[in-house]
Chain A
Amino acid sequence: MKENPFASTQFERRKFRRANLNKWIMFSFCAALIIPLIAILVDIFVKAAPVISLDYLWLNPANKGKEGGLWAPLVGTFYLVIGSLTLVAPVGILAAIYLNEYAKEGILNRVIGIAVTSLAGVPSIVHGLFGLGAFVLVMLPAVNSVIGSPNDRASNWQAGLLTASLTVAVMNLPVIIASAREALGGVPQSFREACWNLGATRWQTIRTIVLPNSLSGILTGVILTISRAAGETAPILFTGVTFFKFVADAGWEKIFPYNPGEPFMAMSMHLNIISNQISQMPEGMKYGSAAVLIGLILFVNSFAIILRVWLRGRKRW
């Protein structure tokens, strides 16, 4: 019988098998990442299920968090996110515009680039130290010397929402710069050139062409910043978060419980404290707050993902 000259040789077959095996090994790495993760999340959500209800979100914590719900820390996290975003979003987006639209290739641009990466790599606890040194110990006394009187303690601001928001804002600056820069970079150069050729100035081009076309990308970055601000604990530890604070149970003061110069409660800190510092904390409450925090982050992030998918479907260049 004549051998098929195109049949793979022993060597080739072995090579192929090995290649296939390697592919499956790499797939199993992915699986090894994802399956336990899903198992853990399911475990947390299952253990949290008995306590989770609308009341759990709406009631204030009582008896050191052993009873009641999560309203006070939830609303604190909300204001922290809003506060830090108001501070960082404009600066970060404008910085990205500068880097992408104005800056010339050169040493300055390079230095800014390195500063952004370094800032992104600063450990969160070092951001916390910075917030303590800069905002709590230097900025607050300066603010108080203007708005407060030394004798009336109530008129002086303490470390609170303002200082914590500032700290988180600094921490999120590189995140927002990087994502906004990517979004701006995605706008084709030809769009800008077309606009310039119509006689528009650089600023007019940015305002009318570059920004509208990259807005969804920028928004995605902003959403990611939200999720990061909502989950961080270390930067706010010394800059204004507190373990327990009374929040009104009804009325407007329930919606706006904290003023910027007062310590506030936050979800991440709440989880930190109740998971290991309160005696005889019921398991359900621990898993409940973990599940709410995870749920919040995943919810916010899924917005970013949906937005991106939608953006990609719509993109015409």
Chain B
Amino acid sequence: MTNNQAPISRIHLTFLAAAVLSLALGGCGQKEPSAGGPSGGGSSKKTVEIRAKGSDTMIQLVTAWAEAYRKVKPNVFVNANGGGTGTGFASLQNNSTDICNASREIKKEESEKVKSVTGKEVKEFVVAHDALAVYSHPSNPIKEISIPELTEIWAEGGKFTTWEQINPAFTGKLTLFGRQNNSGTYDYFREHICGKTPDNRQREFRGGISEMNGSSEVVENVGKTPTGLGYSGMGYKTPGVSWLNVSIVKGGPSVEPGADAARSGKYPIARKLYLYTAGEPTGELKDFIDWILSPEGQKIVSKEGFVSLN
């Protein structure tokens, strides 16, 4: 027995040694890049990291900028993260991000908070326009909708739950798709569509809305649901969905979401997209924002389906 056992346990030990060795190597490897990695700056040409965090609507846009900017300046890494506009402002406070991408304007409390924590004034850059489109299934014959109707559909206590209440041309229960409750899109849509209560308070969204984690998820689900209705940025349009023309009052002239309509403010639910920094940007950060505002950066805005500044 012992004679048989000895060589076998040696094999075992070889196994163990191999396992331990590979673990140890892996462990070392893991730490290695801290010397020469993007943030370490130890290598010959200095690499700079810019962190951008905030709106999920803008993650598509900021990632596209980041990828294109590497061709302009290979040593600048822009790391884009989502998480929602609110999260972006919170990160701006504790200096864990350089840029907050925001799909709504900063609130007064937020800018005061940033100032009180970092001691720097918040600097705002309008980088693009966006129209919030109201998406429906391509098979849906209804192609127009007014703001008061949208209010009845989306707001808490609203009257509309089926399509025929809006227009007898189409029947079925309304299946609503919106965004999750910390996105700037959610905030913006609530403010501009849900309206006010009689005692002049903002109305909330009704219950029973599917709250999606990403802008494209809304569009994708509307495309799969014949009775679906959803709101999302204009840039997320796919061939699988159609959007509704929006009028300010019922029967009034309706406007299709589009670049010019959004820029001129004719389209009623258009908004600006912002970048915020704490204090005046300097160095590489300034260059990056200048590049975004340049024609080259703005070309990417239109390519990603948003509305460029001019």
Contacts and interface: CB of A to CB of B under 8 A. Distances in A.
B253 interface: no
B80 interface: yes
Interface string B36-54: 1111110000000100000
B72 interface: no
B182 interface: no
Interface of B, helix, strand, loop or mixed by DSSP: helix
A262 B70 contact: no
Q: Max chain B CB contacts within 10 Å: which of A158, A243, A263? A: A243
B99 interface: no
Interface string A237-274: 00000111110000011011111111100000000000
B39 A215 contact: no
Interface string B218-231: 01100000000000
A255 B29 contact: yes
B181 interface: no
Nearest to B82: A243
Nearest to A219: B15
Contact of A153 (B56, B78, B95): B95
Interface in A195-228: 208, 211-213, 215-216, 219, 222
A275 to B, nearest CB: 10
Contacts of A215: 12, 15-16
A47 B33 CA distance: 37
Interface stretch (B122-130, B169-177, B194-202, B208-216): B208-216
B12 A253 contact: no
B263 to A, nearest CB: 22
Interface string A139-175: 0000000000000011000100100000000000000
Contacts of B109: none
Nearest to B217: A276
A261 B34 contact: yes
Contacts of B5: 212-213
Interface in A44-99: 62-64, 79, 82-83, 85-86, 89
B79 interface: yes
A316 interface: yes
Contacts of A222: 19
Interface in B68-86: 70, 77-82
B63 interface: yes
A257 B95 CA distance: 24
A260 B31 contact: yes
A211 B13 CA distance: 9
A277 B8 contact: no
B280 interface: no
A259 B31 contact: yes
A279 interface: yes
Q: Max chain B CB contacts within 10 Å: which of A62, A258, A281? A: A258
Given A82-B23, A86-B26, A253 B36 contact: yes
Contacts of B219: 279
A280 interface: yes
A112 interface: no
Contacts of B70: 246
B292 interface: no
B283 interface: no
A115 interface: no
A54 B9 CA distance: 38
Contacts of B60: 64, 278-279
Contacts of A161: 30
Contacts of A261: 34
B154 interface: no
Given A63-B67, A261-B34, A276-B214, A256 B29 contact: yes
A110 to B, nearest CB: 31
Contacts of A246: 38, 66, 70, 77-79
B9 A158 contact: no
Contact of B216 (A79, A85, A211, A277): A277
Contacts of A255: 29
B267 interface: no
A215 B15 CA distance: 9
Interface string B81-108: 1100000000000011000000000000
B59 interface: yes
B30 A82 contact: yes
Contacts of A213: 5, 9, 12
Given A154-B40, A260-B30, A316 B77 contact: no
24 contacts: A64-B60, A79-B29, A79-B30, A82-B23, A154-B39, A154-B40, A161-B30, A212-B8, A219-B15, A243-B59, A243-B80, A243-B81, A246-B66, A246-B79, A255-B29, A256-B32, A259-B31, A259-B34, A262-B39, A276-B213, A276-B220, A277-B56, A278-B60, A280-B238
Given A277-B214, A278-B60, A314-B8, 6 more contacts: A63-B67, A222-B19, A246-B77, A253-B37, A257-B37, A260-B31
The 10 closest A-B pairs by CB, nearest first: A212-B9, A277-B214, A279-B216, A82-B26, A259-B34, A215-B12, A154-B39, A256-B33, A212-B12, A259-B33
Interface of B: 4-5, 8-9, 12-13, 15-16, 19, 23, 26-27, 29-34, 36-41, 49, 56, 59-60, 63-64, 66-67, 70, 77-82, 95-96, 213-217, 219-220, 235-236, 238
